[in-house]
Amino acid sequence: MLSAQTDLKNAQKVKEFLLKKNLIDQDYNIVKEMGFIYFPIKKKVKITHTKIVDTKFSFPKKQRDSTIGDLLKNQLTKAESKIIPKSQEVIGTILLLEIPEKLQPKEKLIAEAHLKLHKNIQTVVKKADAHTGEFRTRKVQILAGKPAKETIHLENKVKIKLNIEQVYFSARSAHERLRIAQQIKTPEQVLVMFSGAAPYPLVIAKNSPAKIVYGIEMNPIGHTYGLQNITLNNLQNKIKLYEGDVRTILPSIKQTFDRIIMPLPKTGEQFLDIAFTKAHKGTIIHLYAFLEDDQINNYAQYVKNIANQLTHKIKILRKIKCGQFSPSVFRVCLDIKVEK
């Protein structure tokens, strides 16, 4: 095999030169033999302190992790390989795929390949539609593996049990949940409106000095998972969950909160009036919305106007892009301080 042979003393310089000229054959490992270094090269080249030799030995091939493309190279056309979905979401042991229409005839093959590739995945499903309805749930279709829709997801030191079809959950919001938890520096009383299977309450209770976290969820299945998750994580002393509509439940809770989280991005601002009834001067509200980049400032102003109409004064502390809803639409969190 064609190689560049040099001694140990010059090896680093020769390597840098070959890399810069993109001459190293990256499919093979470099060999050290009898005090010489051999670089596998793509073509002959003149370099000082280096001999170009055709070695008698073969260079060892580099081990590289297989990709879906590798596993399917004989079953997909070139055009199909190019549109294999790159972004996937893993919830517990379930992998969720978005399959482009053109790949649907090959979706089972793709799902089987994912099962082979990811040892921690037991089920591969396809997202059958977007989140809809007041519970923000969505249908999925099982493509390969165990026919299970319930799983336990691990994130930020907590276990979250849920059925991916019966309750809303996004693994992609893990970082955002921790961002909120890390803002809590004292034994705050926290309210999570729209708590689902309780990911925010769990992450906050586990990762912050919050004294107590209340959650309200009107999807009965989501609420039941929330209760199970409190036990699963042994957080009975720090989380209290209520089942029902926030408008019905909140008036019966006779206290205000230091922090109120409102993770209902499509219509969250419509609940600011009820949130303000449970806020005091200094309360921080985290309000989520789906917005394009150039809508964020207008939305912040709109929220200020709503507060004014409700005779409250607020300060927008931060506008955080914390997720992507579609190519141009972000999940945005406004961190808001109640000043009056």
Ligand X SMILES: C[S@@+](CC[C@H](N)C(=O)[O-])C[C@H]1O[C@@H](n2cnc3c(N)ncnc32)[C@H](O)[C@@H]1O
Measured N-to-C along each axis, helices 220-232 and 199-207 cross at an angle, to the nearest 10 degrees, of 20
Q: Does 176 bind ligand X (CB under 6 A)?
A: no
Q: At what angle do helices 174-183 and 199-207 cross, to 10 degrees?
A: 50
Q: Which is nearer to ligand X, 17 or 135 (CB)?
A: 135
Q: Which of 269, 264, 323 is nearest to 136 (CA)?
A: 264
Cα 339–302–191 angle (5° rounding)? 50
CA distance 221 to 339: 37
Which residues from 216-245 bind ligand X, rule CB under 6 A?
216-219, 222, 245
- By CB under 6 A, tell whether 161 contacts ligand X: no
Q: Is 206 in the site for ligand X (CB under 6 A)?
A: no
Residue 77 phi, psi (nearest 5): -75, 165
Number of chain positions touching ligand X (CB under 6 A) = 20
Stretch 127-146: interaction string toward ligand X, x if CB under 6 A: -------xxx----------
Query: Under the criterion CB under 6 A, does residue 169 sit at the interface with ligand X?
Result: yes
User: Which residues inside 40-79 make contact with ligand X, applying CB under 6 A?
Assistant: none
Amino acid present at 123: T
Q: Which residue is nearest to ligand X (CB)?
A: 196
**CB of 95 or CB of 180, closer to ligand X:** 180
168 interacts with ligand X by CB under 6 A: yes
Sign of CA dihedral 289, 319, 335, 162: positive
Q: Kindly tell me which residue out of 124, 263, 307, 331 binds ligand X, with binding defined by CB under 6 A.
A: 263
What is the rounded CA–CA span in Å between residue 9 and residue 13? 9
- According to the binding rule CB under 6 A, does residue 195 interact with ligand X? yes
Interface residues toward ligand X, by CB under 6 A: 134-136, 168-169, 173, 194-196, 199-200, 216-219, 222, 245-246, 263-264
